[in-house]
Amino acid sequence: MSMELELKNVALRAGDQLKLKGQILHDADRFQIDLGCEADELALHFNPRFHDDEDGSVLVCNSKTDGCWGDEERETHNPLQRGSEVKIVVKLTGDMFEVELPDGEEVQFPNREGMDIISYVRVRGDFRLTSFKIC
Ligand code: GAL
């Protein structure tokens, strides 16, 4: 069953990190980690997919402004495996978001709108979250 964690009125800034641990479901289709100021204003949508129509297993990143998606970035080398226990760290550097994945892999995504304070965080999809920390 898919999960959802939604945090509002938080305040994450450059230098802060989100650390998540959990298990990607065995039959996972997708999950996502969203950072922004509300559901329609996302600076980072980090979206691993395991059955994408175009790319199969792929890491999709995007931003959302006024409810509209921006240009997608796709990384077709997806180190995330269905059924595995993983630790994912999202680092806010100010200009960028750095997503640390297993096996020393990292995905970077620019902070396109220069959102200084992240007040909204959502984690949802085919992931069993066992630990969530803001550091
Ligand atoms: C859409 C999908 C959204 C989001 C977006 C990212 O196709 O429906 O959930 O992942 O792509 O660009």
pTM exceeding 0.85? yes
Cα(37)–Cα(16) distance, integer angstroms: 16
The CATH code of domain 3-134 reads 2.60.120.200
The Cα diameter of the chain in Å comes to 36
Assess whether the C-beta atom of 30 lies below 6 angstroms from ligand 1. Answer: no
- What is the per-residue pLDDT across 26-76, written as a single tens digit (0 to 9) for each? 999 999 999 999 999 999 999 999 999 999 999 999 999 999 999 999 999
Task: Answer whether 41's CB lies under 8 Å from 65's CB.
Answer: yes
Q: So where are the chain's domains?
A: 3-134
**What is the CA(11)–ligand 1 centre distance, in A?**
25
Q: Which of 44, 49, 64, 69 to mutate to test the pocket of ligand 1 (most atoms within 8 A of CB)?
A: 69
Task: Answer whether 111's CB lies under 8 Å from 56's CB.
Answer: no
